[in-house]
Amino acid sequence: TTESPPRAQYCRWPCQCPRAPPRCAAGVSLVTDGCGCCKACARQRGQRCTEADTCDLHRGLYCDYSADRPRYEIGVCAQIVGVGCVLNGVRYKNGETFQPNCKYNCTCINGAVGCVPMCTNSRPPLVWCPNPKLIKMAGKCCEQWICDDSRKTRKTSPRHISSAAYEGEDEAWQKNCIVHTSPWSPCSKTCGLGISTRISNDNDQCRLLKESRLCNLRPCEVDITQHIKPGKKCLAVYRANEPMNYTISGCVSKSPYRPKYCGVCTDNRCCTPYKSKTIEVRFQCPDGTEFSWKIMWINACFCNLNCRNPNDIFADLAHYHDYSEIAN
């Protein structure tokens, strides 16, 4: 008798998985690996497969080990014999990938057709575009978002001013400036003093500048849950009984204030500003110097399930166009 060659072991126990599952390409299934441990992107047709790296069953694939005799250790993802598909009069084989048009990438899976959209830019432009519009562009398959400024009156440039003037001359920009001011970003801290920023070209030079203001959604040292009324789960707005002075690096505001804060909830909801404004606060330092800072003044808050990490700047950008805070 001949002994079979040793096989490599691809599974290890106990399982050691990454904290976050991988991000698979469009149309690729996220499955549990062959070890029953971790989430993994399924192998596609023609790719190598093992006991750990499984083939995409949703695409009708299986691991063919026939070419790796006698170990049967490493295989190739192959198509399970199945029924073909007919779409718009065209016949496709089982497992065949095709594009019926430029907008979709489809696969025939045992008589059924599954398609993945190729036009994934479904969000309009961000805050710099007040009137986004989705239109068909010549020479491009997918519709494109553009800024529709037709609702605003825009002066045309005088004929005697060359296009170069718009690159360096402040006067030309002032005469042809369309003012864009983004909403204030969420406060950088969920409690205590933080920073909120925005971008605006509302200035004499019509230049995009970054503006900052201080913000304080709620005090860190106060247990606001004690002020929630019996039978309720949330307190939308909290306000201290006594006025206080703002303090920055040992410098104290010249006037006392009694600001409103956003409250808290005992369930999974979070309370965020709904209406706010910006006030100018004058500070005086121990050495006698003075300075001013813009500070967010909260007028109203609401409690909701749309809780975002204030430090996740990409999540904030993705939602700027529908950010609901009313501010000035």
| Domain tally, the chain | 4
- Say whether both 28 and 90 belong to one domain: no
Same domain, 210 and 286: yes
Structure confidence by residue, pLDDT tens digits, 286-324: 988 999 999 999 999 888 876 655 444 444 444 333 334
**Judgement on whether residues 207 and 299 belong to the same structural domain of the protein:** yes
106 and 66 in one domain? no
Tokens coding 179: 């003012």
Q: What is the pLDDT of residue 177?
A: 67
Answer yes or no: is 134 within a domain.
Answer: yes
Domain membership flag for residue 295: yes
% of the chain at pLDDT higher than 70: 78
> Which contiguous run of DSSP H or E holds residue 313?
helix 313-318
Look at residue 211 and tell me if it is in a domain: yes
Residue 101, pLDDT above cutoff 60: yes
Q: If you write DSSP's letter for every residue of 199-265 in order, what string do you get?
A: EE--STT---EEEEEEE-SS-SSS-GGGGSPTT-SB-SEEE-SS-B--EETTEEESS-B--EEE--B
Model confidence pLDDT, tens digit, residues 127-162: 456 667 777 878 888 887 777 655 444 443 333 333
DSSP helix/strand/coil, 165: helix
Q: Does residue 223 or residue 322 have the better pLDDT?
A: 223
Query: Would residue 294 count as lying in a domain?
Result: yes
Residues 109 and 59 in one domain: no
Mean pLDDT estimate for the chain? 78
Q: Are residues 106 and 127 both part of a single domain? A: no
Q: Look at residue 169 and tell me if it is in a domain.
A: no
* Domain containing residue 218: CATH number: 2.10.90
Residue pair 238/261 in contact by the 8 Å Cβ criterion: yes
Give the per-residue pLDDT at 44: 92
Same domain, residue pair 59 and 41: yes
Domain holding 51, by residue range, is 8-80
Q: What pLDDT is stored for residue 310 in this prediction?
A: 47
82, 109, 144, 193, 197 from 295: Cα distances, Å: 66, 59, 38, 10, 11
205 backbone φψ class: left, alpha, beta (φ>0; ψ -120 to 50):
alpha
Which candidate, 44, 45, 80, 76, places its Cα nearest to that of 63?
76
* 67 and 46 share one domain: yes
Residues 280 and 260 reside in one and the same domain: yes
Give yes or no: residues 210 and 291 share one domain.
yes
CATH of the domain at 34: 4.10.40.20
0.85 surpassed by pTM: no
**How many Cα atoms are found within 13 Å in the side-chain-facing hemisphere of 169?**
11
Name residue 251's beta-bridge partners. 248
136 and 93 co-located in one domain: no
User: Does 171 fall in a domain?
Assistant: no
pLDDT at 163 over 80: no
Q: How confident is the model at residue 210 (pLDDT cuts 50, 70, 90)?
A: confident
66-96 pLDDT, tens digit per residue, is: 888 888 889 999 887 777 788 877 888 887 8
